[in-house]
């Protein structure tokens, strides 16, 4: 049973049903049913034409559902008009689904859930497990999202930037449950990049590949966080790094710089350093300057302060940090790190402990607590 194939066919089959006249919401439901049926039937009886099989079963489900509806007249029209199984839906149809599922009228969580189901071909149960909410809650979130976009026409492209934001959110969720959301985000971004010629799509794909390449080394066997400088670089996935760098270089050559390309450039410079000490921090600061120009985000400026601390010394980093408001997430953690580098262990230890209390994730909190404990132990000598 080729689940990857099944999932990659999902948006194409939805598109076929929509072209035959089904509304998006009904088409999407019918294809979910067909997917569930495929999982049941295919292992014993694999179809010769998987896509044709899915289209046939989904269309039948759609007609059954329509028949059950009060909309009898509309159903009869559809049967009259039922076309012969058409040519394979092109990439364009899948693209329209990306835009629809990331429509600006949707909240971030709704767009993410709808994208994973309609474009990613995941079941509601899988998505619910990945986001640690009850299946009923996720089902409602998806059906509301479908109602929200029901009036949106599927015939014109939307804004690529909204799609990229949704894919980036999926990537950042990491992995819990039985679905690897980071890998799923890469698959969906790769599929998008195959259909859209846009340097930022390539930039996001490169960024994901470069981060994903370091995943195995980012956590210790006990689940604790391993900072970049201490990661075992022999465990980085060199094939993914090579691909990410190639995708990024092709994008940068187009000379239409964007946020994701610049972030990917930073990730590429880290990936390129054989040891932490050989990191080209001067270039990384330059890329953060570009990013500041592109987004002027305080988070970027915080990261820039870290890079400045490495390139020009901790005092310079602290000076850059002083320009930022200390309510910024992770500000205290950065301050602790720079003070430690500057040799002020007492201040650093206090700041690490304070940063631990403010940490947004469990892994970071535990990591920062260990840093504080390490410095306090050192100071007691």
Q: Which residues bind another protein (CB under 8 A)?
A: 107-110, 112-113, 131-134, 136-138, 140-142, 144, 169, 171-176, 211, 218, 225, 227-228, 270, 299, 303, 359-365
**Eight-state DSSP code of residue 117:** I
Question: From the CB of 296, what's the least distance to another protein, in Å?
Answer: 17
| Smaller CB separation from another protein, 142 or 285 | 142
Residue 223 φ/ψ region, left for φ over 0, alpha for ψ in the -120 to 50 degree band, beta for the rest: left
User: Closer CB to another protein, residue 60 or residue 358?
Assistant: 358
- Please state the closest distance from residue 225 (CB atom) to another protein, in A: 6
* Tokens coding 317: 């980093």
**To which residue do tokens 């002027």 refer?**
296
Closer residue to another protein (CB): 140 or 347: 140
Taking the complex as a whole, the smallest distance from the CB of residue 3 to another protein amounts, in Å, to 24
Largest separation between any pair of C-alpha atoms in the chain? 86
Angle between helical axes of 24-41 and 135-148 (0-180°, round to 10): 140
Q: Which two tokens stand for residue 349?
A: 């230890």
Instruction: State whether residue 185 is helix, strand or coil.
Output: helix
Q: Which residues pair with 179 in a beta bridge?
A: 176
Nearest approach, Cβ of residue 177 and another protein (Å)? 11
- Closest contact distance (angstroms) between CB of 362 and another protein is 5
Q: How far is the CB of 93 from another protein (least distance, A)?
A: 27
The two tokens of residue 15 are 């598109």
Q: Which is nearer to another protein, 17 or 130 (CB)?
A: 130
Q: How far apart are the first and last CA of the chain?
A: 60
Please state the closest distance from residue 363 (CB atom) to another protein, in A.
5
The angle subtended at Cα 82 by Cα 80 and Cα 85, nearest 5°, is 155
Phi, psi of 179 (to 5 degrees): -115, 130
- Closest contact distance (angstroms) between CB of 195 and another protein is 25
CB-nearer residue toward another protein: 58 or 106: 106
- Beta-bridge mates of residue 176: 179
CB 310 to another protein: min, Å = 12
Find where tokens 């600006």 sit: 104
Q: 18 or 138, CB closer to another protein?
A: 138
154 vs 276, beta carbon nearer another protein: 276
Q: Which residues 6+ apart lie within 8 Å of 335 measured at CB? A: 318, 321, 326, 351, 355
CA 73 to each of CA 80, 218, 302: distance values in angstroms, whole numbers, following the listed order:
11, 58, 61
Distance of CA 359 to the CA centre of its chain: 22
Distance CA 305, CA 67 (A): 62
Question: Measured from the CB of residue 88, what is the shortest distance to another protein in angstroms?
Answer: 34
Q: How many CB atoms lie within 10 A of CB 140?
A: 14
Kindly tell me which of 41 and 168 has the beta carbon lying closer to another protein.
168
Residue 243 or 344 with smaller CB distance to another protein: 243
Secondary structure of residue 373 in the 3-state scheme: helix
Q: Which is nearer to another protein, 109 or 347 (CB)?
A: 109
Distance of CA 357 to the CA centre of its chain: 28
């Amino acid at each position: 049973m080729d689940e990857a194939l099944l999932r990659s066919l999902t948006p194409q089959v939805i598109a076929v049903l929509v072209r035959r006249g089904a509304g998006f919401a009904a088409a999407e439901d019918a294809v979910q049913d067909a997917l569930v049926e495929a999982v049941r039937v295919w292992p014993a009886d694999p179809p010769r034409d998987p896509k044709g099989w899915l289209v046939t079963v989904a269309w039948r489900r759609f007609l059954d559902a329509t028949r059950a509806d009060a909309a009898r007249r509309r159903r009869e029209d559809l049967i009259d008009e039922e076309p012969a199984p058409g040519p394979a839906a092109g990439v364009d149809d899948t693209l329209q689904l990306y835009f629809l599922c990331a429509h600006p009228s949707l909240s971030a969580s709704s767009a993410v859930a709808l994208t994973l189901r309609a474009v990613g071909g995941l079941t509601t149960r899988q998505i619910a497990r990945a986001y640690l909410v009850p299946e009923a809650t996720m089902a409602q979130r998806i059906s509301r999202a479908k109602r929200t976009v029901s009036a949106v026409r599927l015939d014109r492209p939307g804004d690529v930037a909204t799609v990229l934001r949704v894919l980036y959110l999926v990537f950042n969720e990491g992995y819990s449950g039985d679905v690897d959301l980071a890998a799923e985000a890469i698959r969906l971004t790769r599929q998008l990049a195959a259909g859209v010629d846009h340097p930022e799509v390539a930039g996001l794909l490169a960024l994901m590949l470069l981060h994903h390449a370091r995943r195995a080394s980012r956590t210790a066997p006990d689940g604790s966080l391993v900072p970049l400088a201490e990661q075992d670089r022999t465990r980085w996935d060199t094939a993914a790094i090579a691909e990410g760098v190639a995708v990024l270089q092709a994008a940068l050559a187009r000379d239409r710089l964007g946020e994701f390309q610049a972030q990917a450039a930073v990730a590429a410079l880290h990936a390129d350093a054989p040891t932490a000490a050989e990191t080209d921090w001067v270039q990384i600061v330059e890329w953060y300057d570009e990013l500041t120009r592109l987004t002027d985000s305080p988070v970027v400026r915080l990261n820039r302060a870290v890079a400045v601390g490495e390139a020009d010394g901790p005092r310079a980093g602290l000076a850059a940090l002083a320009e930022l408001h200390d309510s910024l997430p992770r500000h205290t953690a950065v301050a602790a790190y720079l003070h430690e580098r500057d040799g002020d262990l007492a201040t650093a230890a206090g700041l690490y402990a304070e940063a631990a209390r403010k940490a947004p994730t469990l892994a970071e909190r535990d990591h920062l607590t260990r840093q504080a404990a390490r410095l306090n132990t050192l100071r007691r000598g």
